[in-house]
Amino acid sequence: MHHARLTPFPQGFLWGAASAAYQVEGAHDADGKGPSVWDVFTHLPGKTFQGSNGDVAVDHYHRMEEDVALMKEMGLTAYRFSVSWPRIFPTGRGEANEAGMAFYERLIDALIAAGIEPVLTLYHWDLPQALQEEYGGWEDRRIIADFEHYCVALFQRFAGKVKYWVSLNEQNYNTTNAYQLGTHPPAVQDRKRFFTANHHAFLANATVIAAFRKHVPNGLIGPSFAYSPAYPASSAPADMLAFENAEEFTNWWWLDTYCFGRYPQAALAWLQKTGEAPDIQPGDVAILQAGLPDFVGVNYYYTTTFTDNPRDGATMQRINTTGQKGTTPSSGVPGLYRTTPNPHLPTSNWDWAIDPTGLRIALRRLASRYDLPLMVTENGLGEFDKLEAGDKVHDDYRIDYLRAHLQACQEAMSDGVQLLGYCPWSFTDILSWLNGYQKRYGFVYINRDETDAKDLRRIRKDSFFWYQTVIASNGQKL
Ligand code: BG6
């Protein structure tokens, strides 16, 4: 579809940016915070790029006022951040730690005072280590009640101040790394355990959405999903079937369960045959159906192209965490699908396909299938940046990426998609979980590297000034 005129961005469109607690806060043991699984995991030898960790991160915990002042200067109308569960409940449950609550209250108040709508993510992977040790975290049903207890504490405290809430961030990406690739804690490689942990996360997600209705009746809540739309490598029927398999197993498995309250049929049938299906107990489907979201948060970075995979074919592989282009191997599930490079698309140094049209396709597929409003809760380009004389960072490649993806949002809105806002990843540079500090995403450069926290100086990149103009014109000057 080539529209003659694009629908303008609506008044009240949320012009945001995003972050996550572990990736920015630092202050890993301040004010009564307990350890998360990431605090422990990043200190194990060989788990992250050059042993990088979030002990200090970009020290947002101590520089919050300065960071919010920069957001205000840039003109943001929304800011997506996550709350660290072990800051609120150091051992996962029990009495809330007031100092942890108070930090987020100060942040939320500062945002509101700056005219910025807070978008609060309840869970961005930093599970209290105590719950991992006590019962294996997401592998045990006890996680559902503990997660609800934690979320309800936040609902009660912030219901009057926060309208937009994200339940789970990228359950799909996090659990794939945690239980298939073994690259996120608890570093397991077992598909049966993967589907079990996911089933509990679905139940926890629906349970807190049901609780949200009671505590935050005027708010909106939904999960953020890492949506990489599947493409077929060719029109050969075997590739088309691989593409259907991939879309169902890597996307609809999560999204259908969130939005319809049931698993997609072909994938479930396959897993029941292989013995990997989750144990769906009586009452589980009712729980899923009582906690459907108000919107879907879309984290979009790239599309993935799939081809046929024989029964003795490629298995899951480690991802590129070095920025050495061209080092990502083909990865898949034998008998279902495997990835293959898309010759039509350029890639970043981390081999992520750059595909703005893929974002338009993503938004349309989700809007048509689920008939829900959408919010882009992440989108961005992780690249090496160069700090030049006079504190300049000329990240024109990032501007090009974001501009093209905002155009895709506008095209999707012209196609009828209801889009609440756009929160690119990330506001400042952050710790990339496995890729250290050298894979930068921010509008604001942070002067630090993997091993040296330096002075943590904040430096406005060229993209900062570009986005400022975009926001000031409500998207008319892209
Ligand atoms: C998403 C996460 O996977 O993408 C973020 O929600 C993450 O936390 C971002 O940083 C970019 O991924 P990466 O691996 O490049 O840091």
pLDDT in the model for residue 37: 98
Question: Which residues on adjacent β-strands are paired with residue 27?
Answer: none
Q: Which atom of ligand 1 is nearest to the CA of 433?
A: 16
Q: Catalytic residue numbers?
A: 170, 378
**Tens of pLDDT, residue by residue, the chain (478 residues):** 899 999 999 999 999 999 999 999 999 999 999 999 999 999 999 999 999 999 999 999 999 999 999 999 999 999 999 999 999 999 999 999 999 999 999 999 999 999 999 999 999 999 999 999 999 999 999 999 999 999 999 999 999 999 999 999 999 999 999 999 999 999 999 999 999 999 999 999 999 999 999 999 999 999 999 999 999 999 999 999 999 999 999 999 999 999 999 999 999 999 999 999 999 999 999 999 999 999 999 999 999 999 999 999 999 888 899 999 999 999 999 999 999 999 999 999 999 999 999 999 999 999 999 999 999 999 999 999 999 999 999 999 999 999 999 999 999 999 999 999 999 999 999 999 999 999 999 999 999 999 899 999 999 999 999 999 999 999 999 9
Distance, in Å, from the CA atom of 426 to the CA atom of 444, rounded to the nearest integer, reads 9
DSSP string spanning 162-190?
--EEEEEE-HHHHHHIIIII--STT----
From the number of C-beta atoms within 10 Å of its C-beta (0-12, 13-18, 19+), residue 388 rates as exposed
HSE value, Cβ hemisphere, 13 Å, CA-based, for 403: 16
Q: What is the pLDDT of residue 316?
A: 86
Mutate to test the pocket of ligand 1, among 119, 175, 254, 441 (most ligand atoms within 8 A of CB): 441
CA distances from 411 to 13, 14, 423, 471 (A): 15, 17, 17, 18
Paired tokens of 114:
């700056």
Protein residue with its CA nearest to atom 12 in ligand 1:
432
Ligand 1: which residue has its CA nearest to atom 7?
432
ipTM of the complex: 0.98
- Probe residue for ligand 1, chosen from 24, 166, 433 as the CB with the greatest number of ligand atoms within 8 Å: 433
Q: DSSP 3-state assignment of 130?
A: helix
Q: How many helices (H) and strands (E) does the chain have?
A: 16, 14
Q: Report the C-alpha gap between 391 and 396 in whole angstroms.
A: 15
| Ligand 1 center to 226 CA (angstroms) | 9
What's the rounded Cα separation, in Å, for the pair 137 and 179?
Answer: 12
Residue nearest atom 11 of ligand 1, based on CA coordinates: 432
Q: Which two tokens stand for residue 110?
A: 């500062």
Could you tell me the CA-to-CA distances from 110 to 23, 105, 115, 120 in Å, in that order? 20, 8, 9, 14
Tokens 């698309």 -> residue: 345
Report the nearest-CA residue for atom 8 of ligand 1. 20
Give one word for 76, left, alpha or beta, with left for phi > 0 and alpha for psi -120 to 50. beta
Determine the distance separating the centroid of ligand 1 and the alpha carbon of 95, expressed in angstroms.
31
- Which ligand 1 atom sits nearest the alpha carbon of residue 352? 15
Distance 273 CA to ligand 1 centre (A): 33
Atom of ligand 1 nearest to the CA of 382: 15
| 432 CA closest ligand 1 atom index | 16
DSSP string of 21-38?
A: HHHH---TTGGGPPPBHH
CA 39 to chain centre: 19
CA distance 399 to 332: 33
Decide if 123 contacts 22 (C-beta within 8 A). no
CA of 432 to the centre of ligand 1 (A): 6
> Which residues have CB under 6 Å of ligand 1?
20, 23, 169-170, 173, 226, 299, 378, 382, 425, 432-433, 435, 439
Q: Do 20 and 169 form a contact (C-beta atoms < 8 A)?
A: yes
**CA angle at 466 for the pair 460 and 472, rounded to the nearest 5°:** 110
- pLDDT score for 317: 87
Q: Are 250 and 403 in contact (CB under 8 A)?
A: no
Which residues is 421 bridged to in the sheet? 14
For residue 411, give both structure tokens: 């095209």
CA of 315 to the centre of ligand 1 (A): 22
Q: How far is the CA of 311 from the centre of ligand 1 (A)?
A: 31
Asked if 82 and 25 count as a contact pair (C-beta separation under 8 A), the reply is no
Answering whether pTM is above 0.90, one says: yes
